[in-house]
Structure 1
Amino acid sequence: MSARSLSSSTVETTSARGDVDIAAVGSLLADSSRARLLMALDDGRALPAGRLAAEAGVTPATTSGHLAKLVDGGLLVVEVRGRHRYYRLASAAVGHLLEVLTQFAPARPVRSLRQHTRGRALREARTCYDHFAGRFGVTLMAALLDHGFLVGGDGLREPGDGPVGYGTAVDYRLTSDGRAFLDHLGVTVPPRRAFIRYCVDWSEQRHHLAGAVGRGLHDRLLELDWVRRTPGTRAVRVTTEGRRGLRRTLGVEWS
């Protein structure tokens, strides 16, 4: 193939692409069952179809079809582990898409004490894909700043931040004392990703910690059993041991 024909072919291929089709993503999210499946995975876990259906409250008969559409649409990926298939969000970007949508989505009417309790628990402490959010998340961020483990901002929403999701207005940095704190706590920071990022928390409208450091802290607190997942929801709860540990290491009085 000549250089001229190669160039022409490249131009034709490129020009065949039109503008982005956000309606294609919207159609995937417009189905309430698919939306529940996505939200059930917004804590960063990978779950088999049966477990995912139970947690999302979707009938097993329709789950496989919904999962196939979400995988084809690039919102989920599937991992084969032996004879089982596990589904998870395709990336952190999908998790943050869901968080952004929560800012614009109307609240569901509360018709029972159980729904009220669940909503309150999500606002108190929850996961945002692979890090902590809610009042617990912003409290951790504030404690890291108060101790000088993080510098660069004060944890408050900045004019340059969006309404929710990843923020870019503040350049937070981990100090040498912060590194020593993470090492003392036994936090492993995962490689090959942004070291420190932050999100604007949709329920608190303050910053909570994301990025590799946020993920490492999330994993370690779960490992220490300072924080436990609440089955069937993104909410988490701080254990008695966790309250002692937070008081001892960060001076946080969690109630």
Structure 2
Amino acid sequence: MTTRDTRAAGLAALAGLIADTTRAACLLALLDGRAWTAGELARHAGVAPSTLSEHLGKLVAGGLLAEERQGRHRYVRLADARVAQLLEDLAAQVTPGAPDRPRSLREAGAGSAMARGRTCYDHLAGRLGIAVTDALGALGLLRRDTGFALTDAGLAWFADAGIDLDRAGRRPLARACLDWTERRPHLAGVAGAALCRHALDAGWCVRIGSERAVKVTPTGERALSEALGIPAGSLR
């Protein structure tokens, strides 16, 4: 088999792993950046644990998921940031049809919360992510003309804020990630992940519910207003 044939076979195998509704639902759920138990994913996907176990085995064997065991519990998470980037990019290309009508007030509230602010693997998304990205651009901290890139002023801003940027790996420092609710790019990459981690650690944002939704706290409103000039009302 030639190198070209090998790459084609590998791409076909990868597409086959994702091309299943149950496996796709699990992969999208794991974009919250956390490890889930097999039981949690089974309930989320609406399938029996035995069925889910077979699907997880394929995803682990295919290199999309990493598995950890603690006692009798089996945890899985996305293998790495490259897998998350692939899923984000693919999901953003899906053209949504007419949104399903919420079946309850709780479901409607959850959808609104996800659109308002959420994590996209390890960075901020939704209106919150877009607001932060726009503010960084308006202050000259982020260039967006030829892809995303932090300016010298942007690097200094992260350093002054005490937000460490780990540039030891191969992950890009700044990357545009197309937001599937806003249909505009938000900040991803090392800088996006570091900013999200800082926002959660400093109490600027808190996770809400069992999905990826996050809410800006009063402390976060003040901090983001002072640091980036984002009006507090726009984050509610």
> Taking structure 1 as the reference length, what is the TM-score of the superposition?
0.76
**Residue in structure 2 matched with residue 189 of structure 1 by the alignment:** 165
SS of corresponding position for 2:219: helix
Deviation at 1:35, TM superposition (A): 2.4
CA distance in 1, matches of 2:119, 2:52: 23
Alignment of 1:11-160 (within 5 A): 14=3, 17=6, 19-20=8-9, 24-54=13-43, 58-80=47-69, 85-99=74-88, 100-102=90-92, 103-104=94-95, 106=97, 109-110=100-101, 111-153=103-145
SS of corresponding position for 1:19: helix
Indicate conservation of the 8 Å contact 2:27/2:78, yes or no. yes
Structure 1 residues not aligned, in runs of 5+: 1-11, 154-169
Of 211, 214, 233, 1:236 maps to: 214
CA distance in 1, matches of 2:214, 2:41: 18
CA distance in 2, matches of 1:58, 1:108: 23
SS of corresponding position for 1:42: helix
Instruction: Work out which of the two has the higher radius of gyration on C-alpha atoms and give 1 or 2.
Output: 1
Indicate conservation of the 8 Å contact 1:76/1:88, yes or no. yes
- Matched positions, count: 228
Indicate conservation of the 8 Å contact 1:55/1:233, yes or no. no
The one-letter code of the counterpart of 1:101 is A
Deviation at 1:188, TM superposition (A): 1.9
CA distance in 1, matches of 2:212, 2:46: 14
Structure 2 residues not aligned, in runs of 5+: none
Indicate conservation of the 8 Å contact 1:56/1:232, yes or no. no
Indicate conservation of the 8 Å contact 2:91/2:180, yes or no. no
Deviation at 1:108, TM superposition (A): 5.5
Indicate conservation of the 8 Å contact 2:149/2:175, yes or no. no
Determine what percentage of the aligned residue pairs are the same residue. Answer: 44
In the alignment, does 2:155 pair up with 1:179? yes
Name the stretch that deviates more: 214-223 or 99-108. Answer: 99-108
